Structure 1
Amino acid sequence: MLTRPFRTMSAALACTVMTVPALSVPALAQDYPDYQRESLYVPVRDGTRLAMNVYRPADGDGVETDKLPTIFVFTPYRARYTDEEGKVHETALEDGLALRSLLRAGYIVAVADIRGKGASFGSRRGFQDRTEAQDGHDLVEWLARQPWSSGKVGMVGCSYLGGTTMHTASTAPRALKAIFTGATDWDKYEFVRRGGITAQFNTRPDEPLSDDLASVPVDADSNGALLREAVAMHAENTSMAGLWYGMPYRDSISALTGNAFWQEAAIWQYAQTIKQAGIATYLWSNWKDEPTSHILVAAENLDSKLLVGPGSHCQTPKDYDFTGQITRYFDHYLKGEDNGFTDEPRVTYWHDDGADGGTYIETDTVPGSASDTLTYYLGQQGGNLLAPRPVNSGSAGFAVDYDIADDAYFPFWPPSLDDHGVTFDSAPASAALDLLGYPVANIAISVDRPDADVFVYLEDVGSDGAVEVVSFGRLKVSHRKTSAAPWDTMGLPWHSGREADVMPLGAGETAMLSIAMMPLAHRVLPGHRLRFLVTGADPRQRNLADLVQNPPPKIAVHYGWETGSRLDLPLARPSDMKGRDE
């Protein structure tokens, strides 16, 4: 416990002590019900002023005067802003990432706007570039130098905020001791243009400047003049979607940044720096979220602690003490508490039971790194089917259907597209199948033109006909060449995406595509069927209207002994199915 002498209001933080609304949090987190906030501009190495908001724990006696560790969040989504109803939103006072609970538990919480966003000055050269990474470095070191700081800093974030934790860590600030990172990418090219095809992540329109103008000005900017000056600079930001659409290959040179920007923004390039700096890493994602495919690979390559929950993008895992886990993690690495954290299994993941329930599994093995394989072959026998062995030879063809768009602004998971391609169904399962890891589709494809986009999906079809999409993948036919990856892929096929490796189809050519699909931890119940689906378009392609071809491509999926078209499913091993209470 902290020793807490009589406290007075710090002259450096001439703000009002405020009370945080009551939360259901662990007992330790109730020590500091109040906080004291200061907001100010902090210059980084090139002189650009970034908006920083600092929240210090307090109670009825005033602000804590002991030196405390700091939790830092670096955001493009405005640390403090006023909505259309006049309500002020503050990232530090939300608890999706346990920030309010950490503040209560005796941590200083600091939230800064990245350059070119929110109330910060400057313009963004490129999405998560090295300038932004160095900005994070400078702010971490600034926080560690403050008189109220213990000198130890941790970072937490999910999605873009998870990326800022990783990129800041990649610069190895001396004060940064631990990061808790959710739903971010290991390789920016593979994340945005997986298989050579862009989808929803990082391709949405940029926010209008009016959003940033709704930021709350820093304390010294009483009339908002500095805020308006800062936001005017944001007009020079590089277009996020324009940056990605302008680089079709992994080794493309961006016309907007003048370099091979995929490499600059790839966190795997800096993995050794993070490890050698001794920064503790805890990675988190949820199964119904595309970044999970990267989080598992990153955990394997960084030897990281790992949590995979149910649910979608950055949702707090249900039936799990998420706040308590984050607090214990930072208590160990920032406060030095011997709380048994490092004695626990390295990995915790949710395995759904196929019937709206499930359990958390604890293991030291990253899902996907060691599974058995169950193979289904594509075939035809009274209908397209998935069979335990090839049954005949033939093909199933379709014309690409582009009439699949929906109005979802950010569709994290695809809907069933059974009516928009070709499907192959298994017989009903006679016993439960526990799938754990990455399915891999190996399919022979021909197209009536040199190239096409191919999407594959794995569905669980209940005895009542209800359909659940449990995995999916994508690959441009011309990007089918597999290569040796510069990291441990856990045995998955890897496509370089380099321009020299692109192979358009020749007339009449049939090509084999190997597609690593999204990882899963899913039980197929007895009586349920597996369905494998192939399409040529997906509603998550934001630029779908620009991709429409008339007439549409005609794609054929070939099967039989000669082609070897098959679906390799990862079967969980009994040793990986031990529940938390077993």
Structure 2
Amino acid sequence: MRIRTDFPYETTREDLRIPLPDGTHLYARIWRPVTEEPVPALLEYLPYRLSDWTAPRDWQRHPWYAGHGYASVRVDVRGHGNSEGLPGDEYDATELADGVAVVEWLAAQPWCTGKVGMLGISWGGFNSLQIAALAPEPLKAVVTVCSTDDRYDNDVHYMGGSVLAVDMHAWAATMLAFVARPPDPAHFGEDWKRQWLTRLDAVEPFIHTWLAHQTRDAYWEHGSVCEDYSAVEAAVLAVGGWHDPYRDTVLRLVQHLPGEVRGLIGPWSHQYPDRGLPPGPAIGFLQETLRWWDQHLKGIDTGVLDEPKLRSWISEAHPPATVYEELAGSWVGDPSWPSPHVTMTRLALDAELTGGRVPSDDPWVRVRSPQHTGLDAGRFFPFGNDADLPPDQREEDGRSVCFDSAPLGHAQAILGRPRVTLRLRCPAPHGRVIVRLCEVGPDGASTLITRGVLNLAAREGRDKALAWQPGTIEKVSFELNAIGHRFAPGNRLRLALSSSYWPWIWPDAEGMGWSVDVTASRLELPVRTPPSDEPVVAFDAPEQSAPLGVVFPSGTATARPERTVVRYVARGTWRLEVDPRYGGTRVYPDGLEFTEDALETYEIQEGDPLSARTRSDWSVRLRRPDSAWDARVRTRSEITCTATEFITTDELTCQDGDETVFHRTWQKRIPRTAG
């Protein structure tokens, strides 16, 4: 990583409040180049608190952009951090309208040319796209990283029509702790406590809303750019990583956006591609985005429009591991998506995926997996930690029904979304189909390549909840998550089928599984054949501006393991404990000490899908030893179920020093209409 200090422009930084039409003010930090000439503005707009939580990341990039001739702006969403107002639901109409107002305010400043770009990762990438779909006139370009165009089927709530237990729960619990954090009096002023208490009175756990909408209804259509791609007029650079759950969005945006669009997918986790967090290699992402901004906000021909529409990393075959510092592989470029270089190739379960064995006379194979199948799924949101990625899949494969190919005679690259078509017979009204594609080495080690999920109730569309007529036979077809991967000669492909995947997927109430007709089922792989004139795809080495200088005191980090699986043998219970490792304790240059600790637990009993239980405990402390300010937030969030209901419990406690200033417990019983 190169740290840049020799920028074309000297820079200044200013904290200020941006007025909204209703009189609310949003807290903003602006880095600007020292120049008499107006410059374009770049906006990153999210709720994660610019004065502390994202400050280290902000300092890596916003001063860098300012040093290259842009006003780079970081704004806290209404009701978060040091912004005024009350918090709302994620990406609600107020948040998006506020974002439009901020774009227009920036464009109207005398130091701005009137042209604005938006950038962001995750939440900031989401609302960048959504605000672009509202088409404010000054917004000319967007860089959206690890984001989604479909809030229902490609976010943290549902997957294939199934409740994502692992992140529906964990992210709702995280946001309860995040939204309850107080304004910082060093930035907000003496009125911080009144603002904090007003916010706390308005808090409602997100989980209530998310579980109340178990099919793809109008709630999820709001903010989903896929509802009308033509609404996006700004030029879009869409960026993702093969170890990020939102990667499919990059392919859809490249395929469907009508204007200038480019896609970039690397080997990365849920991180900016310049940060150097596993898996790498990292790239000069800031330089790459500068080319995008210069092209669309300054009118400089930087050559970005001559690049392939999709640039992708194809990983080489690798043994299973929970972390890779770097993956071997290569960059490829495709002129469009779908690519003319990719062909769907069919592999039948009773032919190419029998490993040379002769199928049984009975074509039906029963799939009824143990309820703890999925414990080796890895983290839904890999962040570059040591235990993020799926370990060797042999134990998962043993809990699944597997179909193997013969050893491959040559290397084979795939790029895109594999698809399965399965002829099923289900004995119960509900069921889950989980498909994993693995690569198996000669020693038997099994590496997870990609996977997909279908709630059988959603087989005719995510907007429906259609019970299966027990005992009847139907064909279902669905896609797995996209991947770029090259299988090695001598290795085998493995298609693994299971009926449960805890804790990623909340189990169906019956747990009866289903049967598959191997003579009428297949896997289709998006095989990529390189063209004779394969374009050269290369990037500069990563660089950033000087770091903020946050200190992590020794001895303050949690000592517990990142992921632990506990089996209670006599009880037949399995428990997964996860420390999400968001940061521990850090001390900021202005004296703020910020401490956070979280533990997620997921428990299920063998043979009992109704025993599924999730819990998340959070503790957050913000204090300034030189001012006696000491605020604490503690939360407890749980979900259990019956055959007909989800039962959620959330508890929030907030303290100012030793005084408890807020305490509330919510409990909801939410019908299981589809999940």
Q: 2:208 aligns with which of 242, 260, 277?
A: 242
Which piece of structure 1 moves more, 203-212 or 329-338? 203-212
> Do structure 1's residue 132 and structure 2's residue 95 form an aligned pair?
yes
* Aligned position for 2:564: none
Match of 2:428 among 434, 437, 449: 449
Pairing of 1:93-242 with structure 2 (within 5 A): 93-95=59-61, 99-191=62-154, 192-199=157-164, 200-201=166-167, 203=169, 204=171, 205-208=173-176, 213=181, 216=184, 219=187, 221-223=188-190, 225-226=191-192, 228-229=194-195, 232-233=198-199, 235-242=201-208
Q: Secondary structure at the match of 2:153?
A: helix
2:369 aligned partner: 400
1:30 partner SS: coil
1:513 pairs with 2:513: no
For normalisation by structure 1, the TM-score amounts to 0.80
Partner residue of 2:525 out of 563, 566, 569: 569
Q: Deviations over 1:68-112 (max 9, x none)?
A: 211100112111127xxxxx93553134xxx34212212111111
Report the AA paired with residue 133 of structure 1. Answer: L
Question: What letter corresponds to residue 400 of structure 1 in structure 2?
Answer: S
Q: Does the 8 A contact of 2:245 with 2:381 survive in 1?
A: no
Deviation at 1:379, TM superposition (A): 2.9
Tell me the amino acid that sits aligned with residue 129 of structure 1.
Answer: D
Q: Does structure 2 retain, via aligned residues, the 8 Å contact 1:368–1:437?
A: no
Indicate if the aligned counterparts of 2:176 and 2:206 stay in contact, CA closer than 8 A: no
CA distance in 2, matches of 1:576, 1:290: 32
CA distance in 1, matches of 2:307, 2:402: 43
Mapping 1:259-298, distance limit 5 Å: 260-275=218-233, 279-298=234-253
- Partner residue of 2:511? 552
**Residue number among 422, 434, 454 corresponding to 2:401 in the alignment:** 422
Return 5+ residue gaps in structure 2 as ranges.
274-279, 319-326, 383-388, 539-675
Task: Encode CA deviations 1:33-61: one digit per residue, 9 max, x unaligned.
Answer: 54322232x2323333322222223xxxx
Quote the Cα distance in structure 1 between the aligned partners of 2:91 and 2:427: 39
Name the aligned partner's letter for residue 557 of structure 1. V
**1:375 alignment counterpart:** 346
Per-residue CA shift, 1:420-470, capped at 9, x if unaligned? 221111111011111121110111222221111111110111223222211
In 2 relative to 1, CA 572–405 (structure 1 residues): closer, same or farther, beyond 3 Å? closer
Cα RMSD for the two superposed structures: 3.0
Greater shift in the superposed pair: 404-413 or 185-194: 404-413
Does the C-alpha gap of structure 1 residues 236 and 30 become closer, same or farther in structure 2, counting only changes over 3 Å? same
Structure 2 residue aligned with 1:431:
410
2:258 aligned with 1:312, yes or no? no
For 1:131, what is the secondary structure of its paired residue?
helix
2:30 corresponds to which of 54, 63, 80: 54
2:332 to 350, 358, 361: 361
Say whether the 8 Å CA contact 1:119–1:227 is kept in structure 2.
no
2:46 to 53, 61, 75: 75
Cα distance in 2 between the residues matched to 1:202 and 1:524: 33
Q: Distance in 2 between matches of 1:212 and 1:228?
A: 13
> What is the alpha-carbon distance in structure 1 between the residues aligned to residue 310 and residue 220 of structure 2?
30
- Could you tell me which residue of structure 2 aligns to residue 300 of structure 1? 255
Change in Cα spacing, 1:429 to 1:410, as seen in structure 2 (3 Å) is: closer
| Conserved 8 A contact 2:182-2:193 | no
Between the aligned partners of 2:475 and 2:96, the Cα distance in structure 1 is: 40
Q: How does 1:508-547 map to 2 (within 5 A)?
A: 508-541=471-504, 544=506, 547=507
* Mapped contact 1:51–1:120 kept (Cα < 8 A): yes
TM-score (norm 2): 0.69
Q: 1:497 aligns with which of 462, 471, 482?
A: 462
- Structure 1 residues 575 and 124 mapped into 2: Cα distance closer, same or farther (>3 Å)? farther
Which of 466, 472, 475 is equivalent to 2:454?
A: 475
SS of 2:143 mapped into structure 1: strand
Letter in 1 for 2:515: A
CA contact (8 A) 2:143 2:236 kept: yes
Partner Cα separation in structure 2 for residue 332 and residue 424 of structure 1: 49
Among candidates 45, 55, 61, match of residue 89 of structure 1: 55
Letter in 1 for 2:504: Q
**Sequence identity percentage:** 25
What is the CA-CA distance between 1:380 and the residue it aligns to? Answer: 8.5
Partner Cα separation in structure 2 for residue 511 and residue 471 of structure 1: 25
The structure-2 alpha-carbon separation of the partners of 1:122 and 1:269, relative to structure 1 and needing over 3 Å to count, comes to farther
* Alpha carbons 1:414, 1:540 under 8 Å: kept: no
The question of whether the paired residues in 2 share the 8 Å contact of 1:392 and 1:559 is answered with: no
Shift in CA distance, 230/103, structure 1 to aligned 2, threshold 3 Å: farther
What secondary structure does 2:493 align onto?
strand
Displacement of 1:230 after TM fit? 5.1
CA contact (8 A) 1:378 1:390 kept: no
Name the residue aligned to 1:5: none
Whether the 8 Å contact between 2:31 and 2:63 is mirrored in structure 1 is no
Partner of 1:295: helix, strand, or coil? Answer: helix
Count the aligned residue pairs: 507
- Three-state SS of the structure 1 residue aligned to 2:129 is helix
Shift of 1:363: 2.6
2:525 aligns to what SS in structure 1?
strand
Q: Secondary structure at the match of 1:423?
A: strand
Deviation string 1:370-394 (CA, Å, 9 cap, x unpaired) is: 621221111399xx82679988652
- The 1-side partners of 2:197 and 2:113 are apart by 33
What is aligned with 1:31?
8
Of stretches 206-215 and 449-458 in structure 1, the one that deviates more from structure 2 is 206-215
CA distance in 2, matches of 1:210, 1:185: 21
- In the TM superposition, what is the alpha-carbon distance from 1:24 to its structure 2 partner? 3.2
* SS of residue matched to 1:102: helix
Q: In 1, Cα distance between the equivalents of 2:420 and 2:434? A: 10
Residues 285 and 309 in structure 1, CA contact (< 8 A), matched pair in contact too: yes
**Alignment-mate amino acid for residue 462 of structure 1:** G
**Closer, same or farther: CA 33–455 of 1 in aligned 2, 3 Å:** farther
Look up the SS of the partner of 1:111 in the other structure: strand
2:146–2:239 contact (8 Å) kept in structure 1: yes
Partner Cα distance (1:174, 1:228) in 2: 37
Report deviation, 1:215: 5.1
State the 1:176 CA deviation.
0.9
> What's the secondary structure of 1:350's corresponding residue?
strand
SS of the residue aligned with 1:366? coil
**8 Å Cα contact 1:368-1:436 kept in structure 2:** no
How far apart are the structure 2 equivalents of 1:217 and 1:509? Answer: 64
Deviation of the 1:473 alpha carbon: 0.7
Alpha-carbon separation, structure 2, partners of 1:553 and 1:534: 14
Name the SS for the 1:300 alignment partner. Answer: helix
